[in-house]
Amino acid sequence: MAMIEVKSEITGTVWQVKKRPGESVEEGDTLIVIESMKMEIPVITEDAGVVKEVRVKEKDPVAEGEVVAVIEG
């Protein structure tokens, strides 16, 4: 089991948190939606597993490259 850090690829504000710690996720699932430049930009996991940690909440600012969630997969 590896801990996989999921990063936001864009600077913006957290609009929605779609997955909570403990939930199972599949590859390609949207974990968080970032609002940036009036667009909803999904943060997608490239790995299946279980959400261990969500490091942001709604309305939090996020920077490009910031870890927003950790998946155990």
Binding site for other proteins (CB under 8 A): 9-10, 36-42
Of the pair 3, 39, the CB lying nearest other proteins is at 39
Output the smallest distance, CB 54 to other proteins, in A.
20
Task: Determine the Cα–Cα distance for residues 1 and 11; give it in Å rounded to an integer.
Answer: 30
- Determine contact, residues 20/54, Cβ cutoff 8 Å: yes
Of the pair 16, 24, the CB lying nearest other proteins is at 16
Of the pair 41, 48, the CB lying nearest other proteins is at 41
Task: Determine the Cα–Cα distance for residues 14 and 33; give it in Å rounded to an integer.
Answer: 6
